[in-house]
Structure 1
Amino acid sequence: MKKLLSLSLILAASPVLAAEGPFFSLRNADFVVSLAFIVFVGALIYFGVPGMIGRMLDDRANGIKNSLDEARLLREEAQALLASYEAKAREVTAQSARIVEGAKAEAQAAAELAKADLAKAITRKLAAAEEQIESTVKAAEAAVRDRAVSVSVAVAAEVLKSQMTAEQAAASVDASIAQVAARIH
């Protein structure tokens, strides 16, 4: 039905209708051209050229549709990959911020520990210095006392020597021995 309709439209649109004289003559150029055109279109239809052109157009349309579907899938994959990378970038940024905060906290804790250790070391050194000063003062006091005792004993011996007689000296020695003996027992 389509073929018949196509053929009648082709004939209606031809310049054959405008020709003068006998139309069905091989001397009429319009008739020959129309006849050649009809034969050509018939040959195209006989060999299935319109079907081949339709199949080619359908194949081309299917190829374009497949390409569009593939492009859509690739776009969706790219969007998913982009979202994944953006999520990873946010995660890495957050992790690096946590690492920086941790490092700052560790550095501050180390600084405070160093300050505390320094304060303890200063306190220990001050205590050691005070002990050394106290020890030196005690040693100096003991040395002064020992020297004062030595000088006092020497002065007392000189005084006793000059004032004491031999009998008094012997009595004093005996008394000292008795006193030492009483303290020992």
Structure 2
Amino acid sequence: MDSTFWAFVSLILFLGLIAYLKVPGMMAKALDKRADAIRNELDEARRMREEAQQLLAEYQRRRKDAEQEASEIVQSAEREAQAIVREAKAKTEEYVTRRTAMAEEKIAQAEADAVSEVKASAVNLAIAAAERIIVERADASVQKALFDKSIGEVKQRLN
């Protein structure tokens, strides 16, 4: 019996011992456990990827909504600013119109006052001239009667 025979017998005994101890089943179980663990990790990764895609879609929708809301706020602010400008312009025009009317009224009043002063001065000057002429041409009693009559007429016209 040579060493090849004993090596063959050792191999057979070793394979028998492995079969008796169910090492191939243990190895298969270990490989199955490993395959299940990998499968579970893949399923978990797939589930996490789907969640991430859903979150991404949700955030993109929220961003779009926020952009739209910001755009609406800007448009609203622009409309309000235009309304304020229109209102300020209208108030300014109204103020200018009112101030112009007041200035025209003051000018008209000043003209009327000036005309009244000129008329009063003319009347006073006419009275003085009439008085001088009457004094030079008439006697004292006639002068007094004419003077009183003239003054009465002037006072009636002024009132």
TM class, shorter-length: 0.7 to 0.9
Q: Does 1:121 align with 2:79?
A: no
- CA drift at 1:122: 1.4
Amino acid at match of 1:136: A
How many residue pairs are counted as aligned between the two chains? 153
* Deviations 1:98-123 (CA, angstroms, capped at 9, x unpaired): 11111111121112112111211211
Residue of 80, 96, 105 corresponding to 1:131 = 105
Give 1:45's aligned residue. Answer: 19
Give 2:38's aligned residue. Answer: 64
Q: TM-score, normalised by structure 1?
A: 0.75
Amino acid at match of 1:75: R
1:136-175 pair list within 5 angstroms: 136-172=110-146
Deviates more, 1:111-120 or 1:159-168: 159-168
Amino acid at match of 1:151: L
Amino acid at match of 2:83: A
Q: Does 1 or 2 have the higher relative contact order (CA < 8 Å, sep 6+)?
A: 2
| Conservation of the 8 A alpha-carbon contact between 2:131 and 2:147 | no
Percent identity reads 37
CA distance in 1, matches of 2:16, 2:72: 81
CA distance in 2, matches of 1:173, 1:146: 18
* Deviations 1:109-151 (CA, angstroms, capped at 9, x unpaired): 1121121112112111211111111111111111111111111
Q: TM-score, normalised by structure 2?
A: 0.86
CA distance in 2, matches of 1:111, 1:153: 62
* Residues 1:152 and 1:170: Cα distance change in structure 2 (over 3 Å): closer
Amino acid at match of 2:130: A
Greater C-alpha radius of gyration: 1
* Residues 1:153 and 1:170: Cα distance change in structure 2 (over 3 Å): closer
Give 1:83's aligned residue. Answer: 57
* Greater percentage in helix: 2
* Residues 1:107 and 1:174: Cα distance change in structure 2 (over 3 Å): closer
Give 2:81's aligned residue. Answer: 107
Deviates more, 1:39-48 or 1:132-141: 39-48
| Conservation of the 8 A alpha-carbon contact between 2:18 and 2:24 | yes
Amino acid at match of 2:97: T
Give 2:156's aligned residue. Answer: none
Structure 1 unaligned blocks of 5 or more: 1-24, 180-185
* Deviations 1:9-53 (CA, angstroms, capped at 9, x unpaired): xxxxxxxxxxxxxxxx3x1x3322221111111222222221211
